[in-house]
C-alpha cells in the first residue's frame, strides 16, 4: 500500500499528467515542482512511448518530442530520484506495457520502489492481463492502478473491487485529448464505482476547463488533466513553467471545495 | 493468464474501452463458427464471389530452371481483388453483419487489405473507413484509388513512420471512439484475442485446399510450404492444416529490407525480441527501452515491426522456420517468376519465391515445395520500375 491516498486528503484532488522529457527533462523537473507549488495533489509522470495507442494527437506529439530529445526510462528514474529530494506528494508513472515489460517488469518495479514512485498506470493492460504486472507491483509496494471506461458495464464492479491506489475513471470513448463537452453518463458510472471501490477514484480524459473539472469533481475524488497541460508545454516549451503553474492553480482552486 | 494464448504469446493488451467489444466479438465468433448457415453463406461467398478454390499450379519451367524440388504455386493472386486478404475479409464482414454492425474500419499497408475490406463493405452495403500510412498512400496510389472507387474513405495517417504500424494504431484509436456500430476488420493474424484466431481460421482455407489439391495431383503431402510473413496471415493460412504433419517443413519468409544487419529491416523473428504491442505479446523490432523500431522493407505489406503470436509460438517450439529475404533478392525473384512462369507476384509473395530459389536446388527432384503466391504484382510494378531506375506513369 503506497501513500497515494494522501493525495485525496486535501479536498478534491487535482492530478496533472506530464510527459517526461518534453521538451527536455530539466523543464519537466521545473514543471513538476511548479505544479506542486500550485496545489497539485498527485502527479502522473508519462514515460514516452513510440506508439501511444491510447493517446490523442497532443500527447502523441509530446511523446515523440520527448523521445527525439533523447529521453529514456533510466533518465526518468534519475529525474524522480532528484524530484524526491523535495517533492513529497504521490507520483505515479503512466506509460505502456512494453516500456515496463521490455525493461524487465521486476527490474522496473523495483526501481520504482527505490526512487519513490507510488504507482503505475498502463492503459494497454486491462483487468484480464494484470497478472503480468500486478503481483510484482504488490511485492514491491507499488500500486498497479486500474482503469474503467464508459463501455465497462458489467465489468465495472469487479474492476472497482480490486482497484489499488486509486481507480482511473475514463470519462469518454476515444483517446486522450481536449473535448468541448463530455457526453458520458458519468453519474451512473460513478454510482456503481462508489458502491464497489475501496480506494479513491479520479476522472480523466477530455477535461480542460475549470467548469468541466467542477462538473466531474462532483462525481469523484479527483480529476486528471493531461492534454490541456501538454498543449501549454507544446506552445511555450522551456518557458512553459509559469503558464503550467497558473493553470494548475486555477484548476485546483476550481475543485478544492466541491462537495 | 488470459485467453487467446499461443505459448506465452498472444493475449489481450488493449485499453479497457475496447474490452467488451472484443469479448462480444469472441462470443459471436464462437457461436457462428459452428453455425451451419454461416458456414454455408461463407462458402458460397468464397466460391461464387471470390473465385475459390484457388489453383494449385505445377510450375514446370520454374522447377526446371532451379533444377531441384518440384514446385507448385498456390495461386491466391487469382482471387477476386488479387490477394489472399479477401478470405479473411469476407469472413469478418459476414460476422460483423450477423453482429448487427453497419460500419467496417481497417488498417492497410500495401492496400490489399484495404481494397478487400472496401470490396466487402460495398458487397454488404456497409460504411467503410480505411486508415493508411501517408508513406504507403504515396507508394500505393493505385490501391488508394481502388478503395475510393469502391466507396471507402481513405484516411492518410501522418503520425510516427506513416506506415502500417501507425495505420494499425490509428484504427485502434478510431475503434475506441466508435464501437457500437463499428467492426474493426483487422487484416492479419495479430492484435488482441480473438483476432489472431479468427483471421487464421478464415485464412486456413488456403492450406485446406493445398492439402486436397496436392493429394489429388501427387498422392502425397508436400515436403515444404513457403509463404511470406509480415503479420503472417497468408503464412498461417498456408501452414495451418500441415502443423500436425511433421514431414512438412513450414517456412516463413520475412522482409529483410536492406539487410538484417542494418536498421532498415522488418525481419521481426530474425532480429526482434519479445514484447507487448498492438494488443499482443509476441516478437517485435524494438530498442533496448522497448520503443518500437521504425522498420523498413520495399514491400509495404511486410513493413511491420511485429509478427502474429502463433508464428512466434511456432518459432519457439521449432515447428516453423523463419528466414529473412532482402529487398534485392525479392526484386530479383519478382522479375524471375514473371519471366519464367508468366506470373507477376506481389512483391510480398516474391519474398517466398526468393527463398525457393535458394532451397529448391538443394532438394532432390522427387521432393515437393508449395509456394503461396499471396497476391498479384500489378500494384508493385511502378515501385519496382523505380527501384530499377525507371520512372513510369501508373
pLDDT of residue B86: 97
Q: Per the domain annotation, does B393 fall within a domain?
A: no
pTM: 0.96
Q: Per the domain annotation, does B291 fall within a domain?
A: yes
Tell me the C-alpha distance between B66 and B333, whole Å. Answer: 12
What number is the average pLDDT over the span B231-238? 97
Structure confidence by residue, pLDDT tens digits, B203-218: 999 999 999 999 999 9
Place of cell 457462428: B32
Q: For B150-286, where are the alpha helices, taking DSSP H only?
A: 164-177, 195-203, 205-218, 233-239, 268-271
Active site residue B85: yes
Indicate if the pLDDT at residue B61 is higher than 70: yes
The total of structural domains in chain B comes to 2
Tell me the C-alpha distance between A170 and A183, whole Å. Answer: 12
Q: Exactly one of B329, B349, B374, B379 is catalytic; which is it?
A: B374
Structure confidence by residue, pLDDT tens digits, B359-388: 999 999 999 999 999 999 998 998 899 999
Give B71's strand partners.
B369
Q: Exactly one of B107, B135, B170, B341 is catalytic; which is it?
A: B107
Among B151, B168, B199, give the residue marking a domain's end. Answer: B199
Q: Are residues B232 and B372 in the same domain?
A: yes
| B15 neighbourhood in chain A, CB within 8 Å | 53-54, 123-124, 126, 147, 149, 170
pLDDT of residue B281: 98
Tell me the C-alpha distance between B385 and B379, whole Å. Answer: 11
Q: Are residues B123 and B42 in the same domain?
A: yes
Q: B383 vs B6, B337, B394, CA distance in Å?
A: 36, 17, 10
* Contact in structure between B369 and B356 (CB atoms under 8 Å): yes
Beta strands in chain A (DSSP E): 13-19, 43-46, 91-94, 119-121, 143-145, 147-148, 167-170, 201-204, 222-225
Residue (of A40, A24, A10) closest to A240 by Cα position: A24
Cell of B108: 492497410
Residue (of B83, B91, B144, B79) closest to B118 by Cα position: B144
Q: A183 vs A179, A186, B126, B277, CA distance in Å?
A: 10, 8, 27, 30
What's the distance, CA B282 to chain centroid?
16
Q: What's chain B's average pLDDT?
A: 96
* Contact in structure between A171 and A226 (CB atoms under 8 Å): no
φ, ψ for residue B193, nearest 5 deg: -55, 135
Q: Per the domain annotation, does B160 fall within a domain?
A: yes
pLDDT of residue A2: 63
More confident residue, B143 or B277: B277
Indicate if the pLDDT at residue B139 is higher than 90: no
Among B146, B164, B199, give the residue marking a domain's end. Answer: B199
Q: Are residues B233 and B275 in the same domain?
A: yes
For B158, nearest residue in chain A (alpha carbons):
A57
**For chain B, how many residues are written?**
394
Site from A21, A51, A52, A176 to mutate, B interface, most B CB atoms within 10 angstroms: A51
Q: Are residues B259 and B172 in the same domain?
A: no
Q: Are residues B125 and B262 in the same domain?
A: no
pLDDT of residue A4: 96
Confidence category of residue B64, pLDDT binned at 50, 70, 90: very high
Indicate if the pLDDT at residue B2 is higher than 80: no
Spell out which chain B residues touch chain A, with contact meaning CB-CB distance below 8 angstroms.
Answer: 1-3, 11-21, 159-160, 165-166, 169, 172-173, 176-179, 273, 275-279, 284, 286, 288-292
Indicate if the pLDDT at residue B79 is higher than 90: yes
| A97 neighbourhood in chain B, CB within 8 Å | 13, 276-277
| B182 neighbourhood in chain A, CB within 8 Å | none
A residues 103-122 closer than 8 Å to B (CB): 103
| B289 neighbourhood in chain A, CB within 8 Å | 72-74, 99, 102-103
Question: Residue B137's domain is classified under what CATH number?
Answer: 3.40.50.1100
- Which structural domain, as residue segments, surrounds residue B240? 51-82+204-387
Place of cell 454492425: B101
- What domains sit in chain A, N to C, each tagged with a CATH number? 4-255 (3.20.20.70)
- Count A/B contacts: CB-CB distance under 8 Å: 122
User: Residue B76 has what DSSP assignment?
Assistant: G
Q: Are residues B183 and B259 in the same domain?
A: no
| A162 neighbourhood in chain B, CB within 8 Å | none
Q: Per the domain annotation, does B184 fall within a domain?
A: yes
Q: Are residues B317 and B190 in the same domain?
A: no
Residues B50, B23, A150: CA angle, nearest 5 degrees: 120
Q: Are residues B42 and B174 in the same domain?
A: yes
Q: Per the domain annotation, does B394 fall within a domain?
A: no
Q: Are residues B193 and B312 in the same domain?
A: no
For A149, nearest residue in chain B (alpha carbons):
B17
ipTM of the complex: 0.96
Q: Are residues B96 and B124 in the same domain?
A: yes
Q: B388 vs A76, B355, B383, CA distance in Å?
A: 46, 21, 9
Q: Are residues B212 and B269 in the same domain?
A: yes
pLDDT of residue B138: 84
Indicate if the pLDDT at residue B1 is higher than 60: no
- What does B117-185 look like in DSSP terms, one character per residue? HHHHHHHHT-EEEEEEEHHHHHHTHHHHHHHHHTT-EEEEE-STTSSHHHHHHHHHHHHHH--TTEEE-
H helix or E strand, kind and range, residue B113: helix B112-124
φ, ψ for residue A16, nearest 5 deg: -80, 145
In angstroms, what separates the C-alpha of B169 from chain A's closest C-alpha?
A: 5
Tell me the C-alpha distance between B161 and B22, whole Å. Answer: 27
Q: Per the domain annotation, does B96 fall within a domain?
A: yes
Q: Are residues B209 and B123 in the same domain?
A: no
Among B199, B233, B251, give the residue marking a domain's end. Answer: B199
The set of residues, in sequence order, having a beta carbon less than 8 Å from that of B264 and lying 6+ positions away, is B257, B258, B296
Interchain contact A124–B (C-beta under 8 A):
yes
Tell me the C-alpha distance between B320 and B348, whole Å. Answer: 19
3-state SS of B3-33 is CCEECCEEEEECCHHHHHHHHHHHHHHHHHC
Cell of B10: 498472444
In angstroms, what separates the C-alpha of B101 from chain A's closest C-alpha?
A: 17
* Contact in structure between A130 and A146 (CB atoms under 8 Å): yes
pLDDT cut 90: percent of chain B above it: 92
pLDDT of residue A204: 95
pLDDT cut 70: percent of chain B above it: 99
Site from B11, B13, B161 to mutate, A interface, most A CB atoms within 10 angstroms: B13
Q: A156 vs A148, A195, A248, A257, B87, CA distance in Å?
A: 6, 10, 30, 28, 37
pLDDT in tens, chain A (259 residues): 568 999 999 999 999 999 999 999 999 999 999 999 999 999 999 999 999 999 999 999 999 999 999 999 999 999 999 999 999 999 999 999 999 999 999 999 999 999 999 999 999 999 999 999 999 999 999 999 999 999 999 999 999 999 999 999 999 998 888 888 877 889 999 999 999 999 999 999 999 999 999 999 999 999 999 999 999 999 999 999 999 999 999 999 999 999 8
What number is the average pLDDT over the span B63-85? 97
The set of residues, in sequence order, having a beta carbon less than 8 Å from that of A245 and lying 6+ positions away, is A34, A35, A37, A38
pLDDT of residue B162: 86
Q: Per the domain annotation, does B328 fall within a domain?
A: yes
Q: Per the domain annotation, does B31 fall within a domain?
A: yes
Tell me the C-alpha distance between B263 and B257, whole Å. Answer: 9
Cell of B354: 526468393
Q: Exactly one of B70, B74, B85, B165 is catalytic; which is it?
A: B85
* Contact in structure between B165 and B301 (CB atoms under 8 Å): no
Amino acid at each position: 500500500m503506497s501513500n497515494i491516498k494522501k493525495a485525496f486528503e486535501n479536498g478534491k484532488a487535482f492530478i496533472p499528467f506530464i510527459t517526461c522529457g518534453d521538451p527536455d527533462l530539466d523543464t519537466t523537473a521545473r514543471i513538476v515542482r511548479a505544479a506542486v507549488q500550485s496545489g497539485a495533489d498527485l502527479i502522473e509522470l508519462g514515460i514516452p512511448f513510440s506508439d501511444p495507442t491510447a493517446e490523442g494527437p497532443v500527447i502523441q506529439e509530446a511523446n515523440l518530442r520527448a523521445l527525439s530529445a533523447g529521453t529514456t526510462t533510466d533518465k526518468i528514474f534519475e529525474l524522480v530520484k532528484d524530484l524526491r529530494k523535495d517533492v513529497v506528494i504521490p507520483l505515479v508513472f503512466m506509460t505502456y506495457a512494453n516500456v515496463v515489460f521490455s525493461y524487465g517488469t521486476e527490474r522496473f518495479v523495483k526501481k520504482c520502489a527505490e526512487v519513490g514512485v507510488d504507482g503505475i498506470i498502463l492503459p494497454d493492460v486491462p483487468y484480464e492481463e494484470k497478472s503480468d504486472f500486478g503481483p510484482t507491483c504488490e511485492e514491491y509496494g507499488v500500486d498497479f492502478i486500474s482503469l474503467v471506461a464508459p463501455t465497462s458495464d458489467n465489468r465495472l464492479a469487479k474492476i472497482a473491487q480490486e482497484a489499488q491506489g486509486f481507480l482511473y475513471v475514463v470519462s469518454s470513448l476515444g483517446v486522450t485529448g481536449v473535448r468541448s463537452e463530455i457526453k458520458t453518463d458519468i453519474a451512473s458510472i460513478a454510482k456503481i464505482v462508489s458502491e464497489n471501490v475501496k480506494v479513491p477514484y479520479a476522472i480523466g480524459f477530455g477535461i480542460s476547463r475549470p467548469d468541466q473539472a467542477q462538473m466531474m469533481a462532483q462525481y469523484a475524488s479527483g480529476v486528471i488533466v493531461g492534454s490541456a497541460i501538454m498543449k501549454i508545454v507544446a506552445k511555450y516549451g522551456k518557458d512553459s513553467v509559469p503558464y503550467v503553474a497558473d493553470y494548475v492553480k486555477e484548476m485546483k482552486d476550481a475543485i478544492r471545495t466541491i462537495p | 493468464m488470459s485467453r487467446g494464448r499461443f505459448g506465452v504469446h498472444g493475449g489481450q493488451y488493449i485499453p479497457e474501452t475496447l474490452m467488451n467489444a472484443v469479448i462480444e466479438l469472441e462470443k459471436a465468433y464462437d457461436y457462428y463458427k459452428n453455425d451451419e448457415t454461416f458456414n454455408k453463406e461463407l462458402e458460397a461467398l468464397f466460391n461464387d464471389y471470390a473465385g475459390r478454390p484457388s489453383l494449385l499450379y505445377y510450375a514446370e519451367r520454374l522447377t526446371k530452371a532451379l533444377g531441384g524440388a518440384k514446385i507448385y504455386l498456390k495461386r491466391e493472386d487469382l482471387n477476386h481483388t488479387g490477394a489472399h486478404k479477401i478470405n479473411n475479409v469476407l469472413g469478418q464482414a459476414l460476422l460483423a453483419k450477423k453482429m448487427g454492425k453497419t460500419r467496417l474500419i481497417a488498417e492497410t499497408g500495401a492496400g490489399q487489405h484495404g481494397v478487400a475490406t472496401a470490396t466487402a463493405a460495398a458487397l454488404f452495403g456497409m460504411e467503410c473507413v480505411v486508415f493508411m500510412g501517408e508513406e504507403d498512400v504515396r507508394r500505393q496510389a493505385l490501391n488508394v484509388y481502388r478503395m475510393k472507387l469502391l466507396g471507402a474513405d481513405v484516411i492518410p495517417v501522418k503520425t510516427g513512420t506513416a506506415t502500417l504500424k501507425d495505420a494499425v494504431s490509428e484504427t485502434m484509436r478510431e475503434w475506441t471512439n466508435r464501437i457500437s456500430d463499428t467492426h474493426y476488420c483487422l487484416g492479419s493474424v495479430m492484435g488482441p484475442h480473438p483476432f489472431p484466431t479468427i483471421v487464421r481460421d478464415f485464412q486456413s482455407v488456403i492450406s485446406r485446399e493445398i492439402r486436397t489439391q496436392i493429394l489429388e495431383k501427387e498422392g502425397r503431402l508436400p515436403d515444404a510450404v513457403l509463404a511470406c510473413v509480415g503479420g503472417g496471415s497468408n503464412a498461417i493460412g498456408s501452414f495451418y492444416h500441415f502443423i500436425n504433419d511433421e514431414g512438412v517443413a513450414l517456412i516463413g519468409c520475412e522482409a529483410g529490407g536492406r539487410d538484417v544487419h542494418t536498421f532498415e529491416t522488418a525481419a521481426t523473428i530474425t532480429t526482434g525480441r519479445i514484447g507487448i504491442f498492438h494488443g499482443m505479446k509476441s516478437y517485435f523490432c524494438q530498442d533496448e527501452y522497448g520503443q518500437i523500431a521504425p522498420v523498413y522493407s520495399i514491400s509495404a505489406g511486410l513493413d511491420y515491426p511485429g509478427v502474429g503470436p502463433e508464428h512466434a509460438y511456432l518459432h519457439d517450439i521449432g515447428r516453423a522456420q523463419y528466414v529473412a529475404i532482402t529487398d534485392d533478392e525479392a526484386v530479383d525473384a519478382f522479375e524471375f517468376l514473371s519471366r519464367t512462369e508468366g506470373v507477376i507476384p506481389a512483391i510480398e509473395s516474391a519474398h517466398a519465391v526468393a527463398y525457393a530459389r535458394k532451397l529448391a536446388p538443394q532438394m532432390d527432384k522427387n521432393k515437393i515445395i508449395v509456394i503461396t503466391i499471396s497476391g498479384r504484382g500489378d500494384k508493385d510494378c511502378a515501385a519496382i520500375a523505380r527501384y530499377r531506375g525507371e520512372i513510369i506513369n501508373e
